[in-house]
Chains A and B, each alone.
Chain A
Amino acid sequence: MTRGAARADPRAKAWGAKDMATQQQNQWIFNALGLTIPGLSPGKDDADDGAPPDGAPAPEAAHADDARSGNGAADAGGSREDDVPLAPVVAAKAKEKQVKDASDKVTAMSDDDLKKLSSADKVKMVKDLFANGKPTGDARKAQIKIYKDMDIDPAFKKREEERADRMAKTLSSDKDLQEARKNWTTLSAADKVKALKKIIAAQSKEYGFDPPQIETETTAPYTAADGSKHIVNGHFEASDGKLHLNVHAESSISQDFESALNTTLHENGHNYQARLVKDMRAGKIKPGDPDYAQAAMFDVNEDGDAYIPPKEDYDAYVKQPEEDHSRTMGADMSAKINKALDEASAAH
């Protein structure tokens, strides 16, 4: 069947103008996307009779099922069992193309060029890579490459540094904290938690939310694959909103004030990120908001499949937006607080 025959038939009447319009739209979308569905491209249908007859206007798209099955005018008037809606197929193909285009673009770019892109561009590319669900293969590699070349928004980082300065100044005069720092290993777990609660209260106040509860756990060290001794320090649990800290006698929380500070600040940083993402998704953080650029990076990193687990790629795990922020902020805040406490303590 030719398109000319279709017009002569005229199936447009039988299908209804709306159906024909949909087919035309689908064809236009295929053309725009550069996609070829067997039997649907203009070249195939036109092959038997060349250009449309009678100097007709641009040819309409043939019905996809006709094109695939060879059915023609004979069944044109009724509903057909093999009718397959094209819209989902088109949408799926469009998503595949969106992922492939983003993946190809990232793969072709040097790390230097990728680093130079704005955070908004990088966020957009990650979203494109997720257009069809969790990326796999080259698309997942592209996501990892973007994370490795994504940096904390400089203005956001500066605000974190300013928060650290204010916290260090405020906490330095706390005599209990000064003493806790000096005698950390001799304190009970309860006294350690009491000291860490002061740190968390100061940090949470800076972030503008109530301090989370600290849940202590006692998890023994374990032997890693290489035979060395390891121990978990803690984690932020989004489902209960608490900081879970390991106070086992051999843990860093128990043995080292500076590490305890860092772990606690780091984990409460994840709490802050979750709140920024929530606010952004609720429309409370909009373009133009000072936190927008960083919140957008946390947003694309937030959902389960977007977070790179350590076993998949350790460097990407450390550098992905949520971990990069917690590591950078945790180390900076703990260094400033530690130094301020040291100097204040020495001054007395």
Chain B
Amino acid sequence: MASETAAERYEAVELTENGEKPLGTVEFDAAGTLTVREEKGAAKDGALARIAQQVNGKKVMYVEAPPPEGSPRFTLASRIVNRGEPDFIPALKNYLRTYYKIELRPQ
């Protein structure tokens, strides 16, 4: 994951039920701060910038993990990943895919 901790550019693509929509270009720095470099199409109203602002305010990511032994059935548990840890950017990319349907593709 070392390559993801350096400032790298990604193409942001929204995955919709009717196909893909290019939203623009973004960059991560080593701390996982997202910077929007270009907004395209549907993101020209500032949607990508709003999302970047939203996720840049997050100090931790929660990555689903097996619940501790003895937990009641249906228990959900997470591993806490702090900003700056190696797994933070992969977790953030997964977060964007899950909650914003945005996939970041390396340019």
Question: Which residues of A are interface residues toward B (Cβ below 8 A)?
Answer: 161, 221-222, 224, 228-238, 244, 250, 252, 255-256, 258-259, 262-263, 266-267, 270, 307, 310-311, 314, 317, 322, 326, 331, 334-335, 338-339, 342-343, 346
A338-B74 contact in complex given A222-B68, A232-B68, A250-B80, C-beta closer than 8 Å: no
Q: How far is the CA of A233 from the CA of B77 in the complex (A)?
A: 5
Q: Across the A-B interface, give the 7 residue pairs with the lowest CB-CB distance, nearest first.
A: A310-B66, A252-B62, A235-B75, A258-B99, A233-B76, A235-B74, A229-B80
Indicate if B106 sits at the interface (CB-CB under 8 A): no
Q: Are B66 and A252 in contact (CB under 8 A)?
A: no
Closest chain A residue to B46, Cβ basis: A346
Tell me which residues from 55 to 88 in chain B have a Cβ below 8 Å from any Cβ of chain A. 58-60, 62, 65-69, 71-80
List the count of A-B residue pairs having beta carbons below 8 Å apart. Answer: 97
**Nearest CB in chain A: distance from B87 CB, A:** 9
B14 closest partner in A (C-beta): A339
Q: List 14 A-B contacts (CB under 8 A).
A: A221-B80, A230-B78, A231-B78, A231-B80, A232-B68, A232-B77, A255-B59, A256-B60, A311-B69, A326-B74, A331-B98, A335-B99, A342-B54, A343-B47
Contact with B101, one of A222, A233, A335 (Cβ below 8 angstroms): A335
Among the listed A232, A270, A335, which residue makes an inter-chain contact with B67, where contact means beta carbons less than 8 Å apart?
A232
| B6 located at the interface, meaning its Cβ lies under 8 Å from any Cβ of chain A in the complex | no
Q: A224 touching B79 by the CB < 8 A rule?
A: yes
Minimum CB–CB distance from A313 to chain B (whole Å) comes to 11
| Residue contact A342 to B47, C-beta cutoff 8 Å | yes
Q: Please, how many angstroms separate the alpha-carbon atoms of A114 and B48 in the complex?
A: 42
Contact with A along B85-102 (1 / 0, CB 8 A): 000000000010011110
Q: How far is the CB of A340 from chain B (nearest CB, A)?
A: 12
Contacts of B72 in A (CB 8 A): 235, 237, 244
A182 and chain B: residue at smallest CB distance: B54
| CB atoms of B95 and A267 under 8 A apart | no
B residues less than 8 Å from A331 (CB atoms): 98-99
Select which of B17, B71, B73, B99 is within 8 A of A232 by beta carbon: B71
Question: Contacts A259-B62, A346-B50 given: A310-B67 contact, CB under 8 Å?
Answer: yes
Residues on A with beta carbons closer than 8 Å to the beta carbon of B58: 255-256
Q: Are the CB atoms of A252 and B79 closer together than 8 Å?
A: no
Alpha-carbon separation in the docked complex, A228 to B77 (Å): 13
Q: Give every chain A residue within 8 A of B69 (Cβ-Cβ).
A: 311
Q: Quick check: B79 and A229 within 8 Å, CB to CB?
A: yes
CB distance from B61 to the nearest CB of A (A): 8
Given contacts A222-B68, A258-B95, A259-B62, contact A231 B77 (CB under 8 A): yes
Q: B76, A263: Cβ atoms under 8 Å?
A: yes
- Provide the bound-state CA to CA distance between A233 and B17, in Å: 30
Min Cβ gap B62→A in Å is: 4
Decide: A228 and B79 in contact? CB cutoff 8 A: yes
Q: Contact check: which of A267, A339, A343 meets B74 at CB < 8 Å? A: A267
- Nearest-CB distance from B54 to chain A (Å)? 8
Q: What chain B residues lie within 8 Å of A236 (beta carbons)?
A: 74
| Chain A residues whose C-beta falls within 8 Å of the C-beta of B100 in the assembled complex | 335, 338-339
Query: CA–CA, A344 to B58, complex, Å?
Result: 22
Neighbour of A234 across the interface among B59, B75, B95, B98, CB < 8 A = B75
